[in-house]
Structure 1
Amino acid sequence: MAHRNNNSQTNNNNDVAKDPPENSEATEEENSKKKEQEELPPFEVVEGSRIPASSFMFQFKNVEYSSGRNKTLLCYTIERGEGQVFRGYLEDEHVSAHAEDAFFSNVLPQFLSSGAVSVTCYVSSSPCVNCAACIARCLRKNKTINLRLVVARIFQWEESEIRSALRGICSSGCKLRMMKSADYLHVWKNFVEPDVVLNEEGESEQTSEQGAFIPWEDLEENARYYEEKLAEIIR
């Protein structure tokens, strides 16, 4: 499965600082890289209304061993009682922030001031332990949220902590299920935009990924596989 790095940059106060060896270019380079990592923004998530088609096809593909798919894309629909509908998507920009945390901590609370809301999130993979805890807290605090979480892949489902976290969000009221062909088609129609490609004259032209959604060969087979795994976890 794709590994989403949940580690944040922290300083260990018990570590004793040591002077680097004299004339050590390798050590200076390591220190420079470390400083650059520490200066990365602690929280930065890309937000928009439409996902590039190629990004959707890669990140949402429901393969079992998802090499290279190390970011999370989350498409959301928020429906208010008065008939208002809001859509958008988030994606991880740095490993210290996850799209689910951003949505349930920063985005969704803006829509909770006027009664009950129905929320549907289509996510490229199921939440990590920390994001699952964030979702559960949000649902416990706001009893007026009706949440459906529809995921393409299950993140590290072999880990006992992950399995427990998924059971936790279900017990908090989240309706969790796997994406099927109809869900992919829905997301394609409502959240995906054509990739911008320029020809030699600098004019935009269509690519093969701009038309109707074309499912990959084993989409439904993989969906059934994940459905069985999810049923094992939350039963």
Structure 2
Amino acid sequence: MQHQRRGPRARPRQRFTPVPWPRNPVRWLSLDYFYFHFTNWPNPKGRNGCYLCYQVKRTQKGLSLDVGTGVFENETQQAFLAQNLSREEKYHVTWFMSWSPCFQCARQVVAFLRDHKYVQLSIFAARLYYSRSPQYQQGLRSLQGAGAQVAIMTPADFAYCWDIFVDDPLQPFRYWKGIYINSCSLSKSLEDILRAN
């Protein structure tokens, strides 16, 4: 997947603590929250919430037009429902999630995708949520079966999210120890889950 870098913002840098959220969605994550919640350690402590960074693009005659971006906390279908998506258009929605969807969220998203054939969904997760649970594994397979692309975030995806969703354009993204090996290991685990019957 090719990503475009974001240019510098003209507005002054704003710091905020996203809990409690002033509204859902918000436009930016603070850098501290990004590193805390998106670091791809397999079993991190204290990461109880799921953060979902989304992009919506309208696809038209080979062109891709930005519709919106934002960040949700502990929401899935809201990332669709918050957008006014016209049935007359086609859309590509991309999610970058701190955890892969739970089985209940997966069920809701699958139902949405079946009722909204004009929406294509790509999900990139930093980590796998309860990856040994058969119920959660089936949830991931059902997403793929409904036409969603399901993948683990690569180091390039983390850097892209930093550029688009983190409210600190002057700070470069810092790769943490283990980012490459964790991404590869989690990708292998997801591949095994999606291939299982």
TM-score category, normalised to shorter length = 0.7 to 0.9
Number of equivalent positions: 170
Greater RCO structure (CA 8 Å; 6+ sep): 2
**Aligned positions of 1:10-159 closer than 5 A:** 46-81=24-59, 83-92=65-74, 99-104=75-80, 106-108=81-83, 110-159=84-133
Q: Which amino acid aligns with 1:46?
A: N
Q: Which runs of 5+ in 1 are unaligned?
A: 1-43, 93-98, 195-208
Kept in 1, the 8 Å contact 2:113–2:119? The answer is yes
Give the drift of 1:84. Answer: 3.6
Give the drift of 1:210. Answer: 5.6
Percentage of pairs with the same residue: 26
Kept in 1, the 8 Å contact 2:42–2:182? The answer is yes
Kept in 1, the 8 Å contact 2:102–2:136? The answer is yes
User: How does the TM-score come out when normalised to structure 1?
Assistant: 0.69
Give the drift of 1:45. Answer: 6.7
Give the drift of 1:102. Answer: 2.3
Q: Distance in 2 between matches of 1:155 and 1:177?
A: 13
Give the drift of 1:85. Answer: 3.1
**Aligned positions of 1:198-213 closer than 5 A:** 211-213=171-173
Partner SS for 1:47: coil
Cα distance per residue 1:96-125 (max 9 Å; x no partner): xxx113223x224x2233311011110101
Counterpart for residue 39 of structure 1: none
Kept in 2, the 8 Å contact 1:193–1:210? The answer is no
Q: Which amino acid aligns with 1:68?
A: G
User: How does the TM-score come out when normalised to structure 2?
Assistant: 0.81
Q: Which amino acid aligns with 1:69?
A: R
Q: Distance in 2 between matches of 1:84 and 1:210?
A: 24
After the TM superposition, which segments of 4 or more aligned residues of structure 1 sit over 4 Å from their partners?
A: none
In 2 relative to 1, CA 222–45 (structure 1 residues): closer, same or farther, beyond 3 Å?
farther
**Aligned positions of 1:167-206 closer than 5 A:** 167-194=141-168
Q: Which runs of 5+ in 2 are unaligned?
A: 1-21
RMSD in angstroms over aligned alpha carbons? Answer: 1.7
